Amino acid sequence: MNFKEEWLIANSKGSYSSSTISFANTRTYHGILVKSEQNNYNRYVILSKLYEELAFQGKQYAIDTNYYPGTMWPEGFRYIQDYSTTPYPSLTFNLEGNICKKSLILDPDADTVVIRYEFPEKTPDTMNLYPLLAFRSFHNVIKSGQKEFVADEDKGSYSFTDGIYSLKISKIGKFINKGLWYYNFIYPEEQERGTNSMEDLYMPGVISISNIKSPLDIAITTDDNFSGNFQDIQQRLTTRGENNEEDPAINALRRNSYNLRLKNDLIAGFHWFGPWARDTFISMPGLLLIEKNFDMAREIFLNYAGKMKENLVPNNLYSQSFERSADAPLWFIYALYKYYAYSNDSSFVRSLLKNVRDIINSYISGNEDFSLDGKFIKVSNAPMTWMDAKNGNTSFTPRIGKPVEINALWYNSLKIYTYFCNISGEQPEKTVNDILSEFEDEFTGKFIINGEIADTIDPVDTSFRPNFLFAYSLPFPLLNQKQFLEKARLELVTPYGLRSLSPRSNKFAGTYSGPVMERDRAYHNGTVWPWLAGPYITACVRNGYDAGNLYRFFSDLYSMEMVPEIFDGLSPGEPRGCIMQAWSYGELIRAYYEDIRKYSPGTTVKRGVK
């Protein structure tokens, strides 16, 4: 058993519960209840752990596990007999013949966790629960004495507060006030990352339970109303994302992708990302449109359109300052086109035609970060593309000039705009038609240089990266030459996605590990990105490659219940970065239905429960 395997359940607020199989937290981001602030999606670890001790016939068994300097204690993982992580974590402990099953669920729409303990044979004589509180940002750690906590109880719950946040635990048994700090919890993943890795946690007291009946449910919430019913939450949690797909791998992908859905946006990735425009609009076809969740898609479009500034979609809706990117507004247009292809909702498209026109005109007018140069978009500052790793003033993939995928997106946006004008009974501006005139020939002539495909031009950079794929895979392709797809197959493609840079480059970094600076350097310089399997599959199927062979090649990736952000470039298969990433799910699902199964946009794919 891999006791370090991580699990995560999230709700529509962006709050979540996450840890490892053994419930040993290995990140600052782990916790039984991590609460999201919906105005900015900052998240706070409220209840870090719930340490449990069970007594059978006078013998104590601690089923928790923690890392401390140089040791692990207690070693509850040794009692784990079996476990599952989907659709929620469930463990079976064998305590020298005494069986205890522990399951944890999170309400899909409320910040409420319920932990159920089941004893199929014999109930314990007593059970002691030790809540360990943090009440801090999930990026940071807390040290003893930094906060003051107040414990209280009322008719239905034990409550704990630091004066800002409050936590309630269902009132069961007897609460014995302690008010102690537990010291030196170690988070190994943060040690490896070179970030905060040692923490103290506050234990307000012990919940001591006797006369135990099975099942025993413990509800934990930060909400005002206590609504923790295990069966109700379990039913809603297990049926969200339920679908009639015969392939169990796709079933699991679609079901788990619900962790990334907010009420009116998509989380880019867990644990540390919030919603990002680029990620949302790339992910939307696979996560929402495939199953015809048009209501949510429309809400997202209107949300971003309503926050446009400088006639551009902000890259981050929840940042205090407006953040430009050279591609997010173009991905907005792409996603709107996909929305129309799936919904045939011309009235909604017409309602956003002005926004599309404003975006097009903003690129034509230009700004200090990107502007029109001839027919193409030129990027003047960094980072402005999806390859945006930056540390201080160092941008590791600046891509100054005319990036290939930005200009493929630009061409597609112009074509989509003219298409939208046509279905709306309007005429595109002459400037747009002039730019589109002979665009295809000029693109090919500029970006194919001596038999190589350039990643950027003006200045020319022929580093072999996967960005050219979008000139094949977007709705209006610009390229169809197999030679570059074959080169990608040989140098970039792995069973877990595509490398962000060819290993033949002297800038190639094959491992994403070590301190922040080293990881940022590797991030887009060799690291494998699962989401790029989507455009690669689309490009290949359009150009005659066998869809079934492509699916079989990526079968390990499609079979993962939790699809991460990235993998190492030299030994693909080692997950890195976020443990779940929206566009990893979105692009795998989209490519499966559109390219492998060849579903047309009008095909009905059974949707899950919202």
Confidence of residue 608 (pLDDT cuts 50, 70, 90): very low
- Tens digit of each residue's pLDDT (9 = 90 or more) over 533-545: 999 999 999 999 9
What does the DSSP assignment read for 543-600? TT--HHHHHHHTHHHHT-SS--SEE-SSSTT-EES-SEEHHHHHHHHHHIIIIIS---
- Tens digit of each residue's pLDDT (9 = 90 or more) over 226-239: 777 899 999 998 88
Does CATH number 1.50.10.10 belong to domain 241-596?
A: yes
Give the tokens for residue 467.
């960005």
Count CB neighbours of 121 within 10 A: 9
Mean pLDDT of all residues in 567-582:
92
Mean pLDDT of all residues in 466-490:
98
Are the CB atoms for 269 and 582 separated by under 8 Å?
A: yes
Mean pLDDT of all residues in 589-601:
92
Angle, CA of 501, 282 and 597, to the nearest 5°: 95
Confidence of residue 379 (pLDDT cuts 50, 70, 90): very high
- Looking at domain 6-237, its CATH class is mainly beta
**Sign of the CA dihedral 536, 537, 542, 547?**
positive
Mean pLDDT of all residues in 551-566:
96
- Tens digit of each residue's pLDDT (9 = 90 or more) over 123-147: 999 999 999 999 999 999 999 999 9
Residue 243 has pLDDT above 90, yes or no: no
Check residue 320 and give its pLDDT.
76
**Sign of the CA dihedral 528, 530, 531, 534?**
positive
Q: What single DSSP character describes residue 334?
A: H
Count CB neighbours of 427 within 10 A: 11
Greatest alpha-carbon span in the chain: 86
Residue 609 has pLDDT above 50, yes or no: no
Residue 610 has pLDDT above 60, yes or no: no
Mean pLDDT of all residues in 520-536:
97
Residue 573 has pLDDT above 70, yes or no: yes
- Tens digit of each residue's pLDDT (9 = 90 or more) over 405-442: 999 999 999 999 999 999 999 999 999 999 999 999 99
Are the CB atoms for 134 and 127 separated by under 8 Å?
A: no
In angstroms, the CA 596 to CA 599 distance is 8
- Tens digit of each residue's pLDDT (9 = 90 or more) over 172-219: 999 999 999 999 999 999 998 888 999 999 999 999 999 999 999 999
* Helices 328-343 and 353-365, axial angle in degrees (round to 10): 150
Tell me where in the chain the CATH 1.50.10.10 domain(s) lie.
241-596
What does the DSSP assignment read for 437-501? TTHHHHHHHHHEETTEE-SEETTTB----GGGGHHHHSSS-----HHHHHHHHHHTEETTEEESS
Alpha helices for 217-317 (secondary structure H): 230-239, 248-256, 277-284, 294-305
Check residue 602 and give its pLDDT.
61
Model pTM? 0.95
**Sign of the CA dihedral 513, 514, 519, 522?**
negative
Residue 607 has pLDDT above 50, yes or no: no
Check residue 561 and give its pLDDT.
87
Average pLDDT, the chain: 95
Strand partners, 103: 90, 116
In angstroms, the CA 387 to CA 398 distance is 8
Percent of the chain residues past pLDDT 90, beyond the cut? 89
Residue 520 has pLDDT above 60, yes or no: yes
Of the candidates 287, 279, 233, the residue with the CA atom closest to the CA atom of residue 107 = 233
Which residue has better confidence, 485 or 39?
485
Mean pLDDT of all residues in 257-274:
95
Tell me where in the chain the CATH 2.70.98 domain(s) lie.
6-237
Of the candidates 284, 318, 200, the residue with the CA atom closest to the CA atom of residue 586 = 284
Q: What single DSSP character describes residue 259?
A: G
